[in-house]
Amino acid sequence: MAFDLGNLLQQYLGGAADPARAEQDFTHAAQQAPQSSVASGVTEAFRSDQTPPFADMVSQLFGRSDPQQRAGMLNQLLANVSPAMLTALAGSIGGLFGQNGQPQVTAEQAEKITPAQVQEIATTAEQHNPGIVDRIGDFYAQHPQLIQALGGAALAIVLGKMAQSHR
């Protein structure tokens, strides 16, 4: 029997689906859906008033990421914070700036940053540039196994948004 992505996602339109099934359903949907659809769903979950704040969710995902993923996500965030925050972070983890003058966190440096610091960075980045939520959604759409850590309610939102874009 072939997997029917459209039928699966249909269950999540309108938000009436069971969040307890969302983790399993997300696994199937993320394997079949375009990455852009997953990214749109993750971004929707980040912005939803039915989930924790963006910074809390990013901090949670950071805690479950491998060193390369942590560095990649931090580089996205740090491109959107004030010079003062960059200076403060550089003082605690060493030099942050790559050859182009942009922040460039390595996997080794990312290991020294705590989830609490990430939460602060994400809060500041979102204040400076609300579009960072979209970029972090795009980033984590490349790592769907991590998105599952957000839990059933957030995954139901992700799947609902994926359903809207699948129509």
Could you tell me if residue 10 is inside a domain? Answer: no
Q: Do 125 and 6 contact (CB within 8 A), yes or no?
A: no
> Residue 52: what pLDDT?
95
Round to whole Å and give the CA distance between 52 and 122. Answer: 13
Could you tell me if residue 12 is inside a domain? Answer: no
Each residue's pLDDT tens digit, 114-165: 999 899 889 888 988 899 999 999 999 999 999 988 988 899 889 888 888 7
Could you tell me if residue 4 is inside a domain? Answer: no
Could you tell me if residue 162 is inside a domain? Answer: yes
Could you tell me if residue 92 is inside a domain? Answer: yes
Q: Do 58 and 135 contact (CB within 8 A), yes or no?
A: no
Each residue's pLDDT tens digit, 9-57: 777 776 656 777 888 888 888 888 899 999 999 999 999 999 999 999 9
Please report which confidence band the pLDDT of residue 1 belongs to, taking 50, 70 and 90 as the band edges. Answer: very low
> Residue 131: what pLDDT?
92
Q: Look at the chain and report how many structural domains it folds into.
A: 1
> Residue 97: what pLDDT?
54
Could you tell me if residue 39 is inside a domain? Answer: yes
Each residue's pLDDT tens digit, 51-93: 999 999 999 999 999 999 999 999 888 887 777 767 666 655 5
What is the average per-residue pLDDT within 106-120? 89
Could you tell me if residue 8 is inside a domain? Answer: no
Could you tell me if residue 75 is inside a domain? Answer: yes
The range of the structural domain enclosing residue 59 comes to 17-166
Round to whole Å and give the CA distance between 150 and 58. Answer: 9
Q: In one letter, which amino acid is 38? A: V
